[in-house]
Amino acid sequence: MEQPLPPYGACLLGSFNLVKYIKDNDIDYVQLVQDIPSVVRAMDNVVDEAIYPLPQQEVEAKNKRRMGLGVTGFANALEKIGFEYGTDAFLDEGSKILETLKEGCYQASAYLAKEKGAFPLFDDRYLSSKFIQSLTQETQYLIKKYGIRNSHLISIAPTGTISLSADNVSSGIEPVFTHSFTRTIQTFEGPRHEEVSDFAYREWGVLGKKASEVPVEDHVKVLCMAQKHVDSACSKTCNVGDDVTWDRFKDVYMQAYDQGAKGCTTFRAAGKRYGILNETEKEYVDDEDQVQTCSIDTTTGQPTCS
């Protein structure tokens, strides 16, 4: 879970698509830094424009103005420029990206506080937190001088639907799940089968390292590297291979804890539970007569299925 929340807590989530920041086979940090303030401002505006189901949710959101900006296409982008997922070089460049995001978001929020005021519950104790003290002296100075508009700014979300909508880039900080698969889409006319291929494989010919090919310890390293730059938490699945012993599996959680992760999710494909994503060549429905398609009457709101 990328957003541990208090009662009635709510959080905006947004992600920078890193495949859009590839320039001359490198990360375009200049463009990324330029884009961050506009995105922080837009997300902050949503706090005021949103419609909240409960009044307590509105009070909580506006008292802290929490948001969770992160990344997607992380594996695609880094593997495109030559870094194999989970290696030391991958971790170093990934850390540089997330540090740039962290510092940019916090500086942008401080300048927003100068313009619009700090979040209502802000006080000087905020500056003494361990995470704030990990920021650069320049960023800490801006917060001390102007306050901060948003209590939290960074999250690493799974971005499953977002990444699929963005031409199926790799999701969040996850490795590529598979390079190509068939997806069943339910439509009013019935099921439709679409071939879906990984963005980096399709556009760049990059065969990224699949989640099942990454040692579980490397999954943990990526999780903990990201957590160092995140004020909330990181959503990351640490895939456990069939060859991992029980003792090694138990140690995964200790490794995550010792390296500072706020949580750790593991999944073993050979286990008894069927996964949300499963590496198969086809995803065809065996019996199309079993599939219902439904339409909604916009006047009554009632569904009609056939």
Dump pLDDT digits (tens) for 193-208: 888 899 999 999 999 9
134 inside domain:
yes
With 50 as the cut, is the pLDDT of residue 6 above it?
yes
Residue 120: half-sphere exposure toward Cβ, Cα within 13 Å = 7
C-alpha span between 109 and 288 (Å, rounded) = 51
With 50 as the cut, is the pLDDT of residue 71 above it?
yes
Residue 182 confidence (pLDDT): 80
Task: Report helix angle 88-116 to 29-49, nearest 10.
Answer: 50
pTM of the model: 0.86
31 inside domain:
yes
C-alpha span between 225 and 260 (Å, rounded) = 9
Residue 271 confidence (pLDDT): 60
With 50 as the cut, is the pLDDT of residue 286 above it?
no
168 inside domain:
no
The domain in which residue 123 lies consists of: 12-146
With 70 as the cut, is the pLDDT of residue 294 above it?
no
pLDDT tens string 129-178? 999 999 999 999 999 999 999 999 999 999 988 998 999 999 999 999 88
Higher-confidence residue of 268 and 19: namely: 19
The torsion angles phi and psi of 192, rounded to 5 degrees, stand at: -125, 140
pLDDT tens string 218-232? 999 999 999 999 999
Residue 302 confidence (pLDDT): 56
95 inside domain:
yes
How many distinct structural domains can be found in the chain? 1
84 inside domain:
yes
90 inside domain:
yes
215 inside domain:
no
245 inside domain:
no
Average pLDDT of the segment spanning 68-82: 97
Residue 194 confidence (pLDDT): 82
Residue 141 confidence (pLDDT): 98
